[in-house]
Structure 1
Amino acid sequence: MKITDEILTAYLDGELAVDDIADVARQIDCSPELARRIKDLRRNDASVAQAYQAIDSKPMPAGILDMLDKFPQSQGKEPVEDVATVLPFKEKSTIRTQAPIWQMAMAASVMLFVGLGAGRYLVPPEPASADNILAQQNTGMIGPENNLFAVLESQPSAVPVTLAASGDTVVLPSMTFKTGDNRYCRAYSVTGRKSSSQNVACRVENAWVVKISVGSAGTSVSQDGLYQTASGEDNPAVTSVIRNLIKGDALDADDEQKVMKQNWR
């Protein structure tokens, strides 16, 4: 068996057949290069987990809880099994910061976009509405004219913001990391009235290029007022993209602020 990063990822996740696991383990033992790579992947997994734990199990701001209280069928019910619509924002807006740190992510994924180049969004044919506008332009590029650009450029991780254009769309950057080719990337979630998405975008020149966007219908809040939807750490598609992009550990708050002030250089 030829060992690729995909096979190593499946090996770490326990997704290989028993015979394949034994074969991969044997090759790792015999190959210093594979041993180094598996060590890197394990370290990347730990870095991703640590970044998400920083925002895990934190109470949501009262304003966000009030917003979710108004959402039809958003609490105490299973999410509707329908794809999330991913469309461009049409209006420019300011950003209002919600102070406390809290966890935000998604329910089970029902729509997936992956683009290791510029890529493009998967956009269902249904007409757009203010309730399900979630993210970006359909080229996969987030430029200065896009509402999310300012969030990715300057919003600290683990601090959510509300996009004023819709009033009920919340963006939460969750981690910032550097890639093997010395680019910076950010993981972030976008939660709207009826659906949400989890994303990874990397900075290229004066824009952000979306690498993956996983969307779902519905949001949920637990009885104790905490988000209890699946985190990026639990989403294999998002985690796989991050672990294959990240070099070293995720940036801490000080390093993140430093690169922001240096215009991501």
Structure 2
Amino acid sequence: MDEGPRGWGVPLYEQVLSGLEPGAPLLDVGCGAGTFTAFAAARGWTVSGADTDRSALAVAERELPGVDLRLTDAHDLPWPDDAFGQVTLVQVLAHVTNPIVALREAARVCEPGGRVRATVWGRPEECDVGEFGRALAPFLPGAPAPAEGRRPSGLGGSSSPGCASTPARPGRSGGGPPPLTEPDRLRKVAGLAGLAVRDLHEVVCTFDYADADELVGPVLDSALGRRAVMRSTGGPRAVKRALLTGLERFRDGDGYRLHNTFRVLDAAPAGD
């Protein structure tokens, strides 16, 4: 179910659940194919999930038979007030149209005394995956940097750190307010959503790739990778060579190892 190096998310998932009480009803907003949802269920939580991706939900339904999984949007959750003890948004906020509204909805369905936990990428300089975008940049003049995943709106899909087939470069492109990768911005957005921020944790996750093909294959298969190949005079070989050159410093034996920072927002409905 993982999009990306298998097992990359375990440290992040453990932090999301840290200090929470197993057994309480937990809603995973942007559950995608259900990777984090299944992780929480295996550790004793009574889980529900929501996502806008019908095909991803179909995968989650096969993995989690009998679980309440709904095709719905983060901005308008179809559950009543105070329905869950915990609400999680794992790598979702970068994909929704309005993070404030999404967090406000999470706060609404979270019971008094409950917790809302949301994760985001660290700053660009804290994430080695940014090298993918830098390596592809010469083939894509004028194109924006790769975004933090695959969906511009709706729900993200918490099985993924972004999109493995379009590696992320978390951070800011263009004008507008600072991105949610900035801790102060994340705290402000949470406050505007009616959440009281308890803490902001930092987690480093390791992305391990067995070999060069595992590293660059998903990139070449992605829309961005195909576009780079089309614009390259040397075709796929030139793009692959550029990726491997850009990521040479991450070599680890026959494979590659990248370290990426994530932040976990720990908040509660205001007034708790």
**TM-score, structure 2 normalization:** 0.27
**Bigger helix fraction:** 2
**TM-score, structure 1 normalization:** 0.27
**Bigger strand fraction:** 2
